[in-house]
Amino acid sequence: MKRIAVLVSGGGTNLQALIDAQNRGEIVGGEIAAVISSTSDAYALERAAKAGIPGCVIARKEFASNQAMTLALVDKLKALNIDLVVLAGFMVILTEEMVNTYPNAIINVHPALIPSFAGPGCYGLHVHEKALEYGVKLSGATVHFVSAECDGGPIISQKAVEVLPDDTPEVLQRRIMEQAEWKLLPQAVSLFCQDKLKVEGRTVRILA
Write out pLDDT tens, residues 107-120.
Answer: 999 999 999 999 88
Find all residues with CB under 8 Å of 16, minimum gap 6, and list them. 47
Q: Is 100 helix (H, G, I), strand (E, B) or coil?
A: helix
DSSP-derived pairing of the beta strands 84-87 and 55-57:
unpaired
pLDDT at residue 172, rounded to an integer: 98
86 — pLDDT class (breaks 50, 70, 90): very high
Q: Is the pLDDT of residue 40 over 90?
A: yes
160 — pLDDT class (breaks 50, 70, 90): very high
Mean pLDDT (whole number) for 3-32: 98
208 — pLDDT class (breaks 50, 70, 90): confident
pLDDT at residue 145, rounded to an integer: 98
Same fold, 1-102 and 109-208: yes
pLDDT at residue 27, rounded to an integer: 98
State the DSSP code for 92: S
Q: SS in 3 state form for 136-189?
A: CCEEEEEEEECCCCCCCCCEEEEEEEECCCCCCHHHHHHHHHHHHHHHHHHHHH
State the DSSP code for 12: -
State the DSSP code for 118: -
13 — pLDDT class (breaks 50, 70, 90): very high
- For 174-206, the pLDDT digits (tens) are 999 999 999 999 999 999 999 999 999 889 999
Mean pLDDT (whole number) for 159-163: 98
- Sequence ranges of the domains in the chain: 1-102, 109-208
Mean pLDDT of the chain: 97
Report in angstroms the alpha-carbon separations of 168 from 10, 49, 160, 180, 183: 21, 32, 17, 18, 22
pTM across the whole model: 0.96
Q: SS in 3 state form for 16-46?
A: HHHHHHHHCCCCCCEEEEEEEECCCCCHHHH
The residues annotated with a catalytic role in the active site are: 110
Mean pLDDT (whole number) for 64-81: 97
- In the chain, the amino acid numbered 65 is S
Q: Is the pLDDT of residue 97 over 90?
A: yes
Q: Provide the CATH topology of domain 1-102.
A: Rossmann fold (3.40.50)
Find all residues with CB under 8 Å of 126, minimum gap 6, and list them. none
Q: Which helix (H) or strand (E) holds 78?
A: helix 66-79
Q: Is the pLDDT of residue 33 over 90?
A: yes
pLDDT at residue 121, rounded to an integer: 86
CATH number for region 109-208: 3.40.50.170
DSSP for 39-69 reads: STT-HHHHHHHHTT--EEE--GGGSSSHHHH
Q: Which residues on neighbouring strands pair with residue 204, listed in sequence order?
A: 199
Mean pLDDT (whole number) for 69-82: 98
- Range with lowest mean pLDDT among 20-29, 75-84, 104-113, 120-129: 120-129
Q: Which residues on neighbouring strands pair with residue 197, listed in sequence order?
A: 206
